[in-house]
Chains A and B, each alone.
Chain A
């Protein structure tokens, strides 16, 4: 199939950037979206042009590196699918496809489709962990965890940290990302001692990093490749209120 892509090109963080149109010919419907860009880049290199920079690594939907807004939707048109798992069979011959980077104040563009997501790491640094230095752990079976809680914790922990939630949010909020980690660690008994400080510190770090506030728009969960549910934000808010109360008493 033959398609056109209109790709965001930006040489570095200081460049204003622009959309540039490229023809991509003879693409197999079985190729992934990133493989289509590989083909484009091979051609650009041989033509003496600068290839399109984009983040990618595992190409199997788990590392969270790939990050493109495709036709206005973070990770493109398929639900619960990362960009790397999107295949060209979902497009048709002659399509014109817009490809842009994540756009959010907290994720500055580095080059083309590559953005800086280190703000996510800073949120985790603030409290997205259980303090358990190596060597100090008790026997694993000393604390049973109800299966229901373990399963829910796992669901929340499947977040891949890609940032699609932020890219889709009209406020550029990281609430779904933070909520997923707060829920994961708050659902297991090992996470209880730090439950209050965790939610307070992580939300502070989120604000400090320049993410917007949550207004329950729900766009985040719609684009989330792992289907992290919006209800976790409600859970986070509940934890936050409790933590505030506890810290004031």
Chain B
């Protein structure tokens, strides 16, 4: 027991089969109980979220014959934030004959996750990766192709094989449209009931099982209770706890957090991925950050002035006064070091006062050498659309002056804890995609998020959820049931509370301030002192929020500030748990860097003897200490080693 958390029992069972890893998923599939096709249409499944995971799950479950009710806060399922993924999707097809295999993808993912992921899940992900590409091609996803008509691949994110499939810089868009079209087909057939502009505000748990959700119609404000035989959360990540991130403005943790409050364990919340190549903030009006594809680092050179406070224009700074710090510190990988290392190095040079641009929060990404070597035409052919995007946002021409970049929060590896079946600790509540914690450990490799979302939704969940449903039937629950009424009443009271405070600060002003605290103390570098301070600051700000927030309008209309208030209220509680998780993990691993745990030359230092576990937190109340349950991670195949990029 500590000041901030209690220690609980370890997690005994992950439902993962043992034995040879190559056949675990085959054996699990065979042992899964099946639902008779004639009975499936009598079973209702709720799917929250329509991104790659939720869209693919909803379509596949509906195709199988289940009655699916789908919910998204956007005005169309096609707008889920998977749409914005640029780079690509990994699959172990070995089309390049470069030695790739399911085992190698599995190996790379476990190692890339800094040995903090569950081997069984990662192996399964690697093995279904090949089916994902087949499925997407059959749907007409226009992947990049070679002149012979076969699919093109590129290498991505520091791997040594070319296994990334892509559709120019819009892979997420094309994959999502494939899933969206499959969903709309099922909507047209009457198998999916689609509810756009609806937000899940509570999970309904009856007799210990997830049996429904409370939703708000964002246009009319009507609150309804939606009942089902099982609930699937595919509601994405929580990067917006930082206010500024590459997430869409609406991305939020509410669905996951409501489930956490109802008993679902939340695992590894402190594992956040900070992407090194984003466009820096331009001022206090900044509302989000935009990612520039990592591929830019293939030809761009990263540098800052050698001396702090050098305010000359980049073109006026001669070579000898520049510090190409990645090439200097990491001669073997240079500008291509993994995301976490590139991000932290940028922060370090900015902390030394050598950052460039507004507020000194930026480093140069310079293409002058590439343009001299390859010619402007060749650079334009490779990066033209990215250069245009940069120019549109900053008003600067990257062909003439170096880009300015800075790290930004991009992805959250943590999420609701799930077992091998993707089931949370609440029976009947399944969690897929970024919303769960399962496959990326402490750090996600490039082009693996799309793979996981679609792997979960198309191939894993439909099997494991069927097993759960076949274990029923579960008694029909009336909307008058006391648990249902209580959940609904709690939602209404909370909304009324937001509207009645009538204070003097906007929701956004609180969110921005919370984001500053998180970025400062729970961002790229964390310390015991900083995290302890942050917990105090968050608690004080949360109290202030509940006293002083001003939410205009009523609940019976489209009210975007009321929506935001609920999301920010949950971000406060999540932010505190993230800091507690970061505080308890006295090691550095993946996206989590504790300043106290580094090698003499400043690299991350893991402590496998103490921390080779997933930290799953149990909720006991807003003002109560959470309880830590450890899932010990076994590495039977990929033995922990130290990452080195020098």
Contact surface of A with B, Cβ cutoff 8 Å: 11-12, 27-32, 34-36, 38-39, 42, 44-46, 48-51, 53, 55-65, 78, 81, 85, 87, 89, 110-111, 114, 116-118, 120-121, 124-126, 128-141, 143-147, 150-151, 153-154, 157-158, 160-161, 184-185, 188, 190-191
Q: Which of these, B145, B177, B504, contacts A147 with CB under 8 Å?
A: B145
Partner of B149, one of A11, A38, A144, A184: A144
Residues A111 and B557 in contact, CB atoms below 8 Å apart:
yes
Contacts of B70-125 to chain A: CB distance below 8 A: 74-79, 81, 83-84, 93, 95
Interface check B170, CB cutoff 8 A: yes
Contact between chains at A134 and B187 (CB < 8 Å): no
A130 x B558 contact (CB < 8 A)? no
Which of the residues B63, B181, B285, B550 comes within 8 Å of A134, measured between beta carbons?
B63
* Contact indicator B134/A121 (Cβ below 8 Å): no
Q: How many Å from the CB of B237 to the closest CB on chain A? A: 14
A sample of 10 cross-chain residue pairs with beta-carbon separation below 8 angstroms, ordered by A number, consists of: A30-B394, A46-B504, A85-B393, A118-B196, A134-B59, A134-B459, A137-B138, A139-B134, A140-B133, A184-B140
The answer to the question of B287 belonging to the interface, with a C-beta cut-off of 8 Å to chain A, is yes
Given the interface contacts A56-B249, A134-B462, does A140 sit within 8 Å of B75 by beta carbon?
no
- Besides the known contacts A58-B84, A87-B392, 12 further A-B residue pairs in the complex with CB atoms under 8 A apart: A38-B508, A50-B552, A64-B83, A121-B77, A130-B140, A134-B462, A140-B137, A144-B145, A145-B149, A147-B145, A154-B168, A191-B140
In angstroms, Cα B511 to Cα A42, docked, is 13
Report which B residues bind A (CB closer than 8 A).
56, 59-60, 63, 74-79, 81, 83-84, 93, 95, 131, 133-140, 142-151, 167-168, 170, 173-174, 177, 180-182, 184-185, 187-188, 194, 196, 219, 246, 248-250, 282-283, 285-288, 290-291, 389, 392-395, 458-459, 462, 504, 506, 508-509, 550, 552-553, 557-558, 560-561
Which residue of A48, A131, A146 contacts B552 across the interface (Cβ within 8 Å)? Answer: A48
Say whether A154 contacts B552, CB under 8 Å: no
Q: Which residues of B contact A126 (CB under 8 A)?
A: 188
Residues of B within 8 A of A143 (CB): 137
B134 / chain A contacts, CB cutoff of 8 Å:
137-140
Chain A residues with CB under 8 Å of B75's CB are 55, 65, 116-118
Contact in complex: A39, B145 (CB < 8 Å): no
A161 touches B506 (CB 8 A): no
The answer to whether A58 touches B248 (Cβ under 8 A) is yes
Chain B neighbourhood of A63, CB < 8 A:
74, 79, 81, 83-84, 248
Residues in A neighbouring B188, C-beta threshold 8 A? 125-126
Which residues from A are CB-within-8-Å of B290? 59-60
Closest residue on chain A to residue B181 by CB atoms: A129
**Interface contact A153-B142, CB-CB below 8 Å:** yes
Interface contact A57-B560, CB-CB below 8 Å: no
Complex Cα spacing A28 to B59, Å = 44
A154 nearest CB neighbor, chain B only: B142
B98 to chain A, nearest CB (A): 16
User: Do A58 and B83 contact each other (CB < 8 Å), given the known contacts A150-B143, A188-B142?
Assistant: yes
| Residue from A62, A64, A81, A153 within 8 A of B140 (CB atoms) | A153
CB distance from A136 to the nearest CB of B (A): 7
Q: Which of B177, B282, B389 contacts A30 (CB 8 A)?
A: B282
Bound Cα distance A74, B401 (Å): 32
Q: Are A62 and B138 in contact (CB under 8 A)?
A: no
Chain A residues with CB below 8 A from B392, complex form: 78, 81, 85, 87
Among candidates A59, A85, A141, residue contacting B151 with C-beta atoms closer than 8 Å: A141
Q: Which residue of A lies closest to B185 (CB)?
A: A129
Among all A-B residue pairs, the 8 with the closest Cβ atoms = A144-B149, A125-B188, A129-B181, A137-B138, A30-B282, A132-B138, A154-B142, A137-B134
Closest Cβ of chain B to A129, distance in Å, is 4
| Distance in Å: Cβ of B364 to nearest Cβ of chain A | 18
| CA gap between A184 and B178 in the complex, in Å | 11
Q: What's the nearest-Cβ distance from chain A to residue B624, in Å?
A: 33
Contacting residues, chain A, for B145 (C-beta < 8 A): 144-147, 150-151
Q: In whole Å, how far is B529's beta carbon from the nearest beta carbon of chain A?
A: 33
**CB closest residue in chain B, given A146:** B149
With both chains docked as a complex, state the minimum distance between the C-beta of B503 and any C-beta of chain A, in angstroms: 10
B185 contacts A147, C-beta separation under 8 Å:
no
Are A110 and B131 in contact (CB-based, < 8 A)? no
Contacting pair B557 A57 (CB below 8 A): no
Residues of A within 8 Å of B550, CB to CB, are: 45-46
In the complex, what's the smallest C-beta–C-beta distance from B533 to chain A, in angstroms?
A: 28
Q: How far is the CB of B632 from chain A (nearest CB, A)?
A: 34
Q: Establish whether residues A64 and B144, one from each chain, have CB atoms under 8 Å apart when the complex forms.
A: no
Complex Cα spacing A52 to B624, Å: 39
Q: Is B149 a contact of A87 with CB atoms below 8 Å? A: no
Q: Inside 8 A of A121's CB, which chain B residues have their CB?
A: 76-78, 184, 187, 194, 196
B181 touches A136 (CB 8 A): no
A190 and B138 within 8 A (CB)? yes
